[in-house]
Structure 1
Amino acid sequence: MKRIGLIALAALFGGAAALGGYKLLERNQDGRSFTEQQNVLFANNPAKISSTGAVDFVQAAAAVSPGVVHIKTTYGGKSSDQSAGSPVDMFEEFFGRGGRSMPRAPRAASGSGVILTPDGYIVTNNHVVENADKIEVILSDRRKVVAKVIGTDPNTDLALIKVEETGLPVVKMGNSDNVQIGEWVLAVGFPLDLQTTVTAGIVSAKARSIGILSRQQNQLTEQEYEEYRRTGKAPSRANTSIESFIQTDAAINPGNSGGALVNANGELIGINAAIASQTGTNEGYGFAIPVNLAKKILEDFRKYGTVKRGYIGVSFVPLDADVAEQLKVKDINGLYVKDVIANGGGAAAGIKEGDIIKKVEGQPIFDSPDLQEKIGRMSPGDKINLTILREGALKDVNVTLKGESTVSTPKTAASGKATGATIGKLGATFAPAPAQLKAKLGAKSGVVVTAIEPGKVFDSLEIPKGLLITGINGRPVNSAKDVEAALPTSKNGMTTITGVGADGQNYSFTF
């Protein structure tokens, strides 16, 4: 009896110690990565369903649905072609509207999000929360809480938001590298403003690029479009988007943006982002951002508030039979290097124009996403091994990735001049906006354009005197000094100015 009593006492003590250790970890998890936190949360909850052998998805749906939230956003401006209060989704901006997409500020929008930690970190799409004045999250128990933005990245269409809650249900992150074409997946979200909806399908392709993010980057403002009509010249922008989508035939509709794509084990393998449609609703294919790419972006958001992205420093074109014929090369697989950027990692590693990148870390490359996703998971200073083909011989090179600020294009490297604008070039003067004006227009920051000089940038763009300028290159401005400090931060030679007119209409000018 004494021995049994000692065993019981030891078991009780061991259980208390384990529980105490878990609670200690839970209290101190802020310093741990999302992956480390989830390893603790799911240590005693291994997957019990075979991804390829499950006969139904009841358990997976039950495990995931509580951790997928409904996101509703509101905006200060009003749309000229939308009735007040009607929910919309950015899918409508990308597909099904036909013709030229004009910028607008919807009064309300709707999307989905996935809870990553019990203390309220939620991943969603950038286009769900971008420029929103207020973000509300509706939890699975119908509670409505306000969220704040931790970080956004239009290059991957990812965003991280945070609600001040604890003990929230969490969706387990999986490994998107293990996803196989033909395996079953579930899409979970809030399509068409309905309650939680689960749809099933298979993975129909991987590493898919559909050009949706680059099209969004290249959307013309109204002013740019008028200038294009007059001159026939469209503004040139560098394509910095990263697309390597998981393609699925699980039904995805407007409102699913930012929701979960999970395998039959209930593990998150992607963040739903887009649909291929001529009508704006599901017609067969949806696209999700791989979770392994998202992990790196989300960690950067939490640590820095922005993405610390590494670059090889080359531009390239994917080869196929037609491209190879045009370039007069024999190979029809790989990435043909068109330009090598001065001071970039590729130049330092000896990559030259005309080289063909055949492998990354020993894995064959067939298209842009094969390389871009792997680079997108890395940071400045990381090293990557590339196999290149030069003059019929294969060669391995180790490239140290460099940050954006250390890489200059051949044009700027040759001239040694910055590409950002200056106040003198703008040809305008600014005064701090009165608090009453900012309150009236729903702006948190701003300067008023007090004068415009003929023949300069503001005059050529027809930016009106009296416009409230709220930000330059993504930075809020409240004085002429702020304007001067924000101008040199332009990227790829492009400066973006955002503002609000007296009628409450939002404006954006890029030059």
Structure 2
Amino acid sequence: MLHRNIPAIALMALALPARAQDVNDATEKAMKDAAAKVAPSVVRIETSGGAEAIWGAGRKGPEVMFRRGVGASTGLVVDPGGYIITSTFNFVGKPTDIFVTVPGHPRTVAKVIGSDPTRMLTMLKIDQTGLPVPPPFPKKDVEVGMWSIAIGRTLDPDLAHLPSINGGIVSATNRVWGKAIQSDAKISPVNYGGPLMAIDGRVMGVIVPISPSSEGETAGFEWYDVGIGFAVPFEDVLKVVPKLKEGTPEKPVTLKAGLLGVTFREPDHYSPGCTIDTVAPETPADKAKLKPGDNIIEADGKPVLNQAQLFHHLRPKYEGDAISLKVKRGDKVEEFKDLKLAAAQTSFDPGFLGVLLMRDDPEHGVEIRYVYPNSPAARVGLAAGDRIMKVGPRPAGGAAPKPKEAKLAPKRPGMPDEAPTGPRAFSGRDQFMGILQHFRAGTALVLEVKKKDGKTDTVEPVLGQFPDDIPAELPEPSTKEQALVAPKPVDGPAVAPAVKKKEEPKKEEAKKDEKKDEKEKPKTGLQKIENVGAAQRKFWVFVPETYKHEVAHGLIVWLHPAGRDGRDADDMVKIWEPYCEKYNLIMIGPTAGNPTGWVAGEADAVMDDVRWVRTRYTIDGKRVIAHGSGVGGQMAYYLAINKSEVVRGAAPVGAVLASNPKDPVSNQRVEFLVIGGAKDPLVNEIREAPKKLGEKHYKALYREMKQSGKEYVNDDPEVFNQMVRWMDSLDKQ
């Protein structure tokens, strides 16, 4: 009987390709029908003039990553009165002229009247009216697995034709901290600024190269052509159109992210807890009286278990929006309703006392290691070997009261409520620096000092500006070698709670611990690490033979130039080994995922590599330095600006600062030493970096290798040694 069915089965098999073709034809027709519905609202944008290129990751150092496009780009009508939304990426070269063609209308001049950097959007205005606005697809109805169609006007100049169509599905929602829809449709500069549509022709979102980990005009471009694309929900875009329309060509509007004004203690976004570490002055958090140590447990009525969950509620918001929080403070739960978010706080120049302090010292106060010539500290007679025992702001109206007569002063942001105006006790360098980070240049202080001869003195320095000079020589030793010992508790008002003293182990336990320590001696020398974590990262680490856990070491994060792929480990160790031994430094060399160099999206992976080192060795958090050459130097800029909770200094060599830096985070001081070669063709652009950084109140120095071009900095021994001493003095105060 089976043989009688064979012809029927064969006929069915022949029919399957035909049916599949029918499905493909039907899908193609549905997509074209959807595109036809939105096509009258999809415009073609052309530009001329402006920069030919911006600098980014190239194959041999800081080559150009993005050249000004000679083709067109795409935009979408959002208001009948001639308002067009598009991607900021389309104007990365700052064109002098912009032209827009709406289907059925003549080509016309357009002007930028507004931008939304939080979502990479730019608003254009043209002198045409009666333009069609496409209907939005409700954000709440967007689901994973739905058809998503990316539309662009780049390829075909004839607007009577349908725009380009690339189909896919919605692969995720609520991405990039709640700001984007993710699609696997082919998304690229061809359709940046165009609509991402549903199969019924309604618009889900506006396509942009947005990134969860980077900012700037090219943020998100690293996802191009890897099957991941993003679109800002169209409903969200339409909500801010009225604000963007308030701008003019002479005075464009810029929408700003809403900020709370806090930093967190947890090492990353996903570790349990959302504990406030610092509260910046004059921010919404400060005005609402949020405090260091508060653990945020709820945001807008939704539970918060880590920073990532808070950011999903916070980061979609703009300046002026509100957020409601619940925090756990000790044993109590405090509620803060409708905190009005602000834009980036006004940066200020932190005050400089003029001292380097002994490290790894748990005793009361802190010993001075070095006094900068002509600094506020030098002018009041402080000297190396003196020990600062107490510190505080000088009260208004005259000399400081004696400690017994100290009166209560108004609370300073991030400080305890009962902080006295007179000097307060503290233990160690970090507590001292924690106090001074709140004071601007020009602030008068009171210091109680125990002089080298044993006498006690009170001095009143006025904080100045951080210097441009790097010390010609720094004294040794720099450490008391007690990094594993907790700071001693102090009597009376203090800057930190007392640390409970560890109980002494019993003799038998001590012997066991000694044997254990012998077996677990730290591994030194060059280590090449592979297959770490889910991403199978690889990197190298160099730990000097002189390393011991009792000394906190600075950490140099070496970011290799394009094409090196981490293969420069032996060369770098040969250069750096004597300096690592002398200055207590460890080096780590992460590896870029692409031979052409680093991209911003790799920042978190680099931080994971840094965390690997910090869990195995004693690292000085005040001296974590991003150091790179060429495109590695550009990554060093990026890490220092965007990962300042970890990276406290950057030493880029032969690297152009690709875009204007964002405002610094309060209480996270970051310094830069920019190095260029006089014979480098890009030296003029490299020299511009300190100026751009200084405008944002970052401290940035510039040093030039007179006889060098793109060589590594050791080609100029004088500049190299200055760089090493700069690294050793990052914890100056």
Q: Report the TM range for the smaller structure's normalisation.
A: 0.5 to 0.7
Distance across 2 between alignment mates of 1:337 and 1:60: 48
Residue by residue, what CA displacement relative to the aligned partner does 1:128-182 show, whole Å, maximum 9, x if unpaired?
1241111111222373221110112333211100111122222223443442222
Deviation at 1:103, TM superposition (A): 7.0
1:129 aligns with 2:103: no
Match of 2:146 among 183, 188, 193: 183
Cα shift at 1:282: 2.9
* Aligned counterpart for 1:118 among listed residues 76, 80, 100: 80
Give 4+ residue runs of structure 1 displaced > 6 Å after superposition.
93-99, 275-280, 317-320, 457-462
Report 1:195-214 matches (<5 A): 196-209=163-176
Structure 2 unaligned runs (5+)?
1-28, 212-219, 248-252, 352-436, 443-464, 469-672, 679-683, 701-733
Q: Choose 137-146 or 114-123, whichever is displaced more.
A: 137-146
Indicate which of 183, 192, 199 corresponds to 1:248.
183
Match of 1:339, as an amino acid? T
Contact 1:243 1:373 survives alignment (8 Å): yes
Name the CA shift for 1:168/1:289 in 2 (closer, same or farther; >3 Å).
same
- CA distance, structure 2, for counterparts of residue 97 and residue 141 of structure 1: 44
3-state SS, counterpart of residue 343 of structure 1: coil
CA distance in 1, matches of 2:222, 2:262: 37
Distance 1:172 1:75 in 2: 34
**Residue 342 (1) aligns with residue 342 (2):** no
Letter in 1 for 2:278: D
Shift of 1:385: 0.9
Decide which of 183, 198, 203 is 1:263's aligned counterpart: 198
Question: Could you tell me how far apart the structure 2 residues matched to 1:118 and 1:95 are?
Answer: 40
Q: Identify if the C-alpha distance between structure 1 residues 145 and 400 changes in structure 2 by more than 3 Å, giving closer, same or farther.
A: same
Alignment-mate amino acid for residue 351 of structure 1:
L
**Cα 1:152–1:373, aligned 2, differ >3 Å: closer, same or farther?**
farther
| C-alpha separation in 2, matches of 1:404 and 1:283 | 33
Partner in structure 1 of residue 128 of structure 2: 165
2:37 aligns with one of 38, 44, 63? 63
Structure 1 residue 298 displacement after superposition: 3.5
SS in 1 for 2:130: coil
Give how far 1:199 is off.
Answer: 2.3
Bigger radius of gyration, 1 or 2? 2
> Could you tell me how far apart the structure 2 residues matched to 1:492 and 1:180 are?
44
Aligned partner of 1:73 among 34, 41, 47? 47
> How far apart in 1 are the matches of 2:130 and 2:206?
22
Residues 224-248 of structure 1: per-residue CA shift (max 9 Å, x gap): xxxxxxxxxxxxxxxxxx7732111
- Cα 1:185/1:383, change in 2 over 3 Å: same
Q: For residues 7-28 of structure 1, give each alpha carbon's deviation from its aligned partner in whole angstroms, at most 9, with x where no partner exists.
A: xxxxxxxxxxxxxxxxxxxxxx
3-state SS of the aligned residue for 1:414? coil
Structure 1 length as normaliser, TM-score? 0.53
Question: Match for residue 415 of structure 1?
Answer: 439
**2:97 partner letter:** K
Summarize the Cα distance change of 1:157–1:308 in structure 2 as closer, same or farther, 3 Å threshold: closer
Q: 1:396 & 1:410 partners in 2: Cα distance?
A: 33
- Retained in 2: the 8 A contact 1:68–1:113? yes
Q: Tell me, in whole angstroms, the C-alpha distance in 1 between the residues paired with 2:32 and 2:69.
A: 37
**CA distance, structure 1, for counterparts of residue 288 and residue 222 of structure 2:** 47
Deviations 1:378-435 (Å, cap 9, x if unpaired)? 432x4321233455765432252243376557958833359xxx9xx9xxxxxxxxxx
- Aligned letter for 1:271? V
Q: State whether structure 2 residue 134 is matched by structure 1 residue 149.
A: no
Tell me the distance in 2 between the aligned counterparts of 1:120 and 1:370.
37
Flag the 1:107–1:265 CA change in 2: closer, same or farther, 3 A.
closer
Deviation, structure 1 residue 278: 9.9
- Structure 2 SS opposite 1:146: strand
**TM-score normalized by the length of structure 2:** 0.39
The 1:132/1:460 distance shift into structure 2, 3 A limit, reads same
Partners of 1:293 and 1:377 within 8 A in 2: no
CA contact (8 A) 2:300 2:313 kept: no
Contact 2:299 2:313 in 1 (8 A): no
Deviates more, 1:393-402 or 1:156-165: 393-402
CA deviation map 1:444-463 (0-9, x unaligned)? xxxxxxxxxxxxx999999x
- Return the letter of the residue paired with 1:414: H
- Displacement of 1:286 after TM fit? 0.9
Q: State the Cα distance separating 1:368 from its structure 2 match.
A: 4.0
What displacement does 1:113 show?
A: 0.7
Percent of matched pairs sharing the same residue: 27
Q: Whole-Å Cα distance in 1 between the matches of residues 327 and 153 of structure 2?
A: 45
- The 5 A counterparts of 1:205-354 are 205-209=172-176, 244-274=179-209, 282-304=225-247, 305-307=253-255, 309-316=257-264, 324=271, 332=272, 335-354=274-293
Asked which structure has the greater RCO (Cα within 8 Å, sep 6+), the reply is 1
Mapped pair 1:371 → 2:311: yes
Instruction: Show the counterpart of 1:224.
Output: none
Distance 1:402 1:377, change over 3 A: closer
Q: Distance in 2 between matches of 1:458 and 1:286?
A: 35
Letter in 2 for 1:202: I
Residue 193 of structure 1 and its aligned partner are, at CA, apart by 6.3
CA contact (8 A) 1:312 1:399 kept: no
Structure number with higher helix proportion: 1
SS at match of 2:109: strand
Report Cα offsets for 1:257-301 as digits up to 9, x if no partner.
111112334333321112899998533221112334434543322
SS in structure 2 of the partner of residue 71 of structure 1: strand
- The residue matched to 1:288 in structure 2 has which SS? strand
Tell whether the 8 Å contact from 2:260 to 2:342 is kept in structure 1 after alignment. Answer: no
Structure 1: distance between partners of 2:194 and 2:117: 17
> What residue number does 1:397 align with?
336
Call closer, same or farther: CA 1:376–1:281 in 2, change over 3 Å. closer
CA contact (8 A) 2:347 2:696 kept: no
Answer yes or no: is the 8 Å Cα contact 1:187–1:200 preserved in 2. Answer: yes
How many residue pairs match? The answer is 335
Aligned residues of 1:296 and 1:378 also touching (Cα < 8 A) = no
Q: 1:157 to 1:391 in 2, by over 3 A?
A: same
Q: Which deviates more from structure 2 when the two are superposed, residues 369-378 or residues 306-315?
A: 369-378
- The equivalent residue for 2:498 is none
- Aligned 1:31-110 pairs, distance under 5 A: 56-57=30-31, 59-79=33-53, 100=62, 102=64, 106=68, 108=70, 110=72
Retained in 2: the 8 A contact 1:203–1:247?
A: yes
Equivalent residue letter for 1:263: A
Q: What amino acid does structure 1 have at the position aligned with 2:87?
A: N
Which is further off, 350-359 or 114-123?
350-359
Give the equivalent residue in structure 1 for 2:324. 385
What is the DSSP-based 3-state SS (H/G/I as helix, E as strand, rest coil) of the residue aligned with 2:245?
Answer: helix
Write the letter of the residue equivalent to 2:103. S
**Cα distance in 2 between the residues matched to 1:155 and 1:415:** 30
Tell me the equivalent position of 1:220.
none
Shift of 1:303: 2.0
Q: Is this contact kept in 1: 2:349–2:441, CA < 8 A?
A: no
In the alignment, the residues of structure 2 paired with residue 126 and residue 112 of structure 1 have an alpha-carbon distance, to the nearest angstrom, of 11
Alpha-carbon distance, 1:488 to partner: 13
Instruction: Quote the Cα distance in structure 2 between the aligned partners of 1:461 and 1:155.
Output: 35
Asked if structure 2 preserves the Cα contact closer than 8 Å seen for 1:387 and 1:394, the reply is yes
The aligned amino acid for 1:155 is T
CA RMSD of aligned residues (A): 4.7
